[in-house]
Chain A
Amino acid sequence: MFNGNSKETASEMLREIGLKSVEELFKDVPSTLRTAKFNLPKALDEQDLIKHIKSLASKNKTLLNFAGAGIYEHFIPAAVNALSSRGEFLTAYTPYQAQASQGTLQAIYEYQSSICALFDMEVSNASHYDGATALAEAVYAACQIKGLNEVLISVGLNPQYKQVLKTYFKGTREIKFTEVSLDNGTLDLEDLKTKLQTPRSAFVLATPNFFGCLEEVLEISAIVHNANALLISLVNPISLGILETPGSYDSDFAVAEGQCLGNTMSFGGPGLGIFTCKKQYVRYMPGRLCGITKDDKGNRCFVLTLQAREQHIRRERAASNICSNEALCALNALIYLSLLGPKGLKEVASLNLEKAHNLAKQICEIEGFSLTYQKPFFNEFVINCPIPAKQIVKKLAKKDILAGYDLGQVDTSLKNNLLICATETKTEQDLANFVSCLREI
């Protein structure tokens, strides 16, 4: 399949280079290795393949979704995919050859600029794998800057992110993580102060945190900086349509999962790791950066720059081993942000806020259900239920509703607590449907 040449042409080429058989090209491979048999299913032609893949697709069932927990369902305007799926973007390579890649390079520059504008940060890289791996790299950068392998995280950090941090640093670069406790859903500031009495490289602030609550960012930032630690903020990019920005509270690094910006959920991958920092830390930043320069005719053009940090130049002394990133997802995010503009983004964020608050209010009207934390939230909140959340998720799935995230998985003392999300995609009818199913439990 997909060979550029017919068998006849291939034989002709062999003859032209003076060979009798293609086997002569594999003479370096020990003969004992050339006896392999490959037991594969019957090959499918395009027509049968499409049928096969469609039949697999039909085994999935999309539920009415009220789950978030890191991946969010948002409306994606048609122009996003129509533009990013053009072969010129989709089938291009990493833009190392600047003259052959000005389209991709300019798009990366515009992505970096849009992310910086949204986050109020000075520098954004061209993207990372996902939010969790971007956070891991930010933690590493902070430890390099401070020369100290002690990092504080919040109990309210997404458990998947905690897991990834553990994988990245356990037994490898030996970074020690200490958790700051929560008080009624948000950070216990006294505990934060106490734990910062020991020197730490950084504190990882998540706002909204995993339980949906908004943190007191200005106070936290002051406490962290007074203790001479760096502030790494993990935020929800859509929320920044209305919420105060990581730059405004003086974050040193700000990272995020950017899937919500014009990318589908696709069972959690690919994501889009957003990575930003203050300009003074740019040389500790992993991944690609695109900058503006001039060509020999004086024309403005774009090029990958500051590559001396990267693995293909610096090898074992590189800031990271990252090579491929999520360029196409970053392009989706750029097109999405361009289509919405500041006003559309404010509208969509406001709708998230409103739908989530309406839903929370309606659920709390059901007997036995209440908000677990009395704290401000964006599009996600925790409900204390009369029965284990696990059972609710199971029961509602039978009614084609994904009720949310069972917090009993994180902490058994939270087993009756359900993390629920409502975005702009939910209609009043959807909310009513969900609420009436909860009422029947």
Chain B
Amino acid sequence: MEKLIIEKSNGARAVVFNGAKDPASFLDKKYLRKREPRLPQLSELDIVRHFTNLSRLNFCLDTHFYPLGSCTMKYNPKAYDAMCSLESFTSLHPLTPVENAQGTLEIIYKFEELLKEITGLSAWTLQPAAGAHGEFTGALIAKAYHAKDKNRTEIIVPDTAHGTNPATAAMCGFKVVNIKSNARGRVDLEELKKVLSPKTAMVMLTLPNTAGLFEYDILEISKLVHASGALLYMDGANLNALIGLVKPAAMGVDIMHINLHKTFAAPHGGGGPGAGGVGVREELKDLLPLGRVLFDGKKYLLEIKNKKSIGQVKSFYGNIAIIIRAYAYLRQFDGKTLGEIAKNAVLNANYIRVKLKNYFPAFFDEVCMHECVFTTPKDLPNLKALYVAKRLLDLGFHAPTIYFPLIVPQALMVEPTETESKQTLDAFTRAMKQIFEEAKKDISILEHAPHKTEIGVIDEVLAAREPNLKW
């Protein structure tokens, strides 16, 4: 338990700026604030201790295995931290003339070129600040593409989609049409045929889907989607399963987004900043957000005007610090080794799937891709996914994603990534086995988990009923 920094405040000073004059000598008093803000006042040492102590209350990738499904918590290489912190990158004002920003522009341009090769799509933007922001960009592109056909008001989203997909479609003014998946967790072709119509603007698919499965009918799906005049969108949050093996364009994908903080090893930062590139096929190129980086054969330029573009989706050109990391990561692979990422990620997931077979069954009992969705055993009806997640914290592992996807009861979604070792995976499966045994003997130890973390079972109802959101 750490006191709040405001509770430690003792009037001491940390950073000072010498020579400041009274603002009243420049501005009429009516413009000046009357009360000073209630911010902490303590020495630099006490501030350093405070935040160092806070950091120690966190699990993180550097200390723990994070089998979080759909989050791709792979190792964040240390070399990139220093690279994106180089002063020539960080001190660049976005209004710097392009002649003086050639290094940053070259990275954006070259990274987009690499993405074109990896995905087979014709053009990319790196402007979106996150995956969901990329989806938003993609849906706006679809809207612009169908501008002349006002009847295309629907976006079809399978029930295995990320929550952001339907939220994005709604945000862009589309009607969301949900479809049920088949018994094997894939898009049901008959269901799809039923809802595809001249009203369909786009179908948003997560590939592989959130059940961790490859849509084996993908070529048929894209044929049907295109025949109806709609676009096929790929949520590329799970690209780690396919990178270096399959080009999304070959599957018929028209628009896709990627998460640089997933597949491309940028850190999650406790929730961001991420970055979300969006790629499109040739016909949609001009619709990409304004401010693309161009190359005239000699130097890199910024696109200033494009009437067809959907416009800017945020200020300036993207989350540069994240883009630098992702570019650096991609430069560590060549055409042959790139596929090793996906192969090892998929192998690790299947290794866990088979090892857990007799304790926690995979809901879809077949080969999975980069992640596997488990459920609690039928003969232990009182065992909830939440208990498993919380007990894992006691045993030194971050919890998997739970209760997602919604089609799986008591879902435990495990994504190990390629950067974890067999030893770690074995330790994890041993912990899961221990939980299984505990559940058989005495479930109460699980119901009240975690026991060993700094804090125990949290009263979430109290937090929502009487929100205390600031000091």
Contact = CB atoms under 8 A, between A and B. Distances in A.
Given A322-B132, A344-B17, A296 B456 contact: yes
A324 interface: yes
A167 B315 contact: no
Interface in B382-427: 389-390, 393, 398-399, 404, 418-422, 424
Contact of A63 (B100, B310, B354): B100
A112 interface: yes
Interface in B40-71: 40-42, 44, 47-48, 50-52, 54-64, 66, 68, 71
Which of A4, A106, A112, A131 lies at the interface centre, i.e. has the most chain B CB atoms within 10 A of its CB? A4
Contacts of A109: 4, 469-470
A28 to B, nearest CB: 4
6 contacts: A17-B351, A81-B85, A101-B270, A160-B316, A267-B94, A344-B17
B363 interface: no
Contact of A264 (B90, B144, B176): B90
B34 A30 contact: no
B183 interface: no
A362 interface: no
A338 B455 CA distance: 26
A347 interface: yes
B55 A89 contact: yes
B167 A340 contact: no
Interface stretch (B25-33, B277-285, B437-445): B25-33
B44 A268 contact: no
Given A116-B470, A171-B147, A291-B468, A160 B312 contact: yes
Contacts of B314: 129-130, 132-133, 164, 269, 271
A14 interface: yes
Given A38-B117, A97-B393, 4 more contacts: A17-B350, A75-B17, A322-B132, A338-B40
A350 B40 contact: no
Interface stretch (A177-185, A242-250, A430-438): A242-250
Contacts of B158: none
Interface stretch (A45-53, A186-194, A197-205, A220-228): A45-53
A296 B448 contact: yes
A317 interface: yes
Contacts of B350: 17, 19, 25
A391 interface: no
A147 interface: no
A268 B324 CA distance: 13
Nearest to B345: A3
A121 to B, nearest CB: 9
B273 A424 contact: no
A141 interface: no
A316 B170 CA distance: 5
Contacts of B95: 67, 69, 71, 402, 405
A57 B88 contact: yes
B335 A39 contact: yes
Contact of A61 (B79, B100, B324): B100
Given A18-B354, A305-B464, A341-B40, A38 B338 contact: yes
A56 B106 contact: yes
Contact of A67 (B2, B87, B93, B170): B93
Contacts of B104: 60, 267
Given A2-B77, A62-B92, A71-B93, A282 B467 contact: yes
A52 B83 CA distance: 10
Contact of A99 (B313, B316, B337, B393): B393
Nearest to A118: B37
Contacts of A353: 23, 26-27
Contacts of B468: 291-293
Contacts of B130: 129, 322-325
Interface residues of B, number: 199
A318 B456 CA distance: 30
A173 B173 CA distance: 6
B294 interface: no
Contacts of A14: 347
B73 interface: yes
A265 B60 contact: no
B114 A293 contact: no
A310 B272 CA distance: 16
B51 A295 contact: no
Nearest to B85: A81
A378 B104 CA distance: 31
A126 interface: yes
Contacts of B190: none
Contacts of A271: 129, 314-315
A297 B456 contact: yes
Contacts, number: 644
A146 to B, nearest CB: 18
B439 to A, nearest CB: 19
Shortest Cβ-Cβ A-B pairs, 3 listed: A268-B316, A268-B94, A328-B269
B429 to A, nearest CB: 11
A82 to B, nearest CB: 8
Contacts of A61: 88, 96, 100
Interface in B6-40: 6, 13-17, 19-23, 26-28, 30-34, 36-40
Interface in A254-271: 257, 264-271
Given A40-B114, A172-B171, A293-B462, A299 B14 contact: no
Interface in A1-43: 1-5, 9-10, 12-14, 16-19, 22, 24-30, 32-34, 36-43
B60 A99 contact: no
Nearest to A12: B422
Given A50-B79, A98-B455, A269 B271 contact: no
B75 interface: yes
A368 interface: no
Interface in B289-342: 289-290, 310-322, 324, 328, 330-340
Nearest to A106: B54
A350 B41 CA distance: 19
A320 B419 CA distance: 33
A60 B318 CA distance: 17
Interface in A289-337: 289-297, 299-301, 303, 305-306, 308, 310-318, 320-329, 331, 335, 337
B102 interface: yes
Interface stretch (B192-200, B224-232, B239-247, B373-381): B239-247
B164 interface: yes
Nearest to B2: A106
B214 A350 contact: no
A313 B100 contact: no
B21 to A, nearest CB: 5
B431 interface: no
B79 A49 contact: yes
Contacts of A30: 216, 218-219
Contacts of B448: 296
Given A54-B86, A90-B60, A130-B315, A244 B418 contact: no
B344 interface: yes
B39 A40 contact: no
Given A90-B269, A91-B62, A174-B173, A240 B47 contact: no
Given A25-B347, A62-B91, A293 B459 contact: yes
Contacts of A49: 79, 83, 328, 331-332
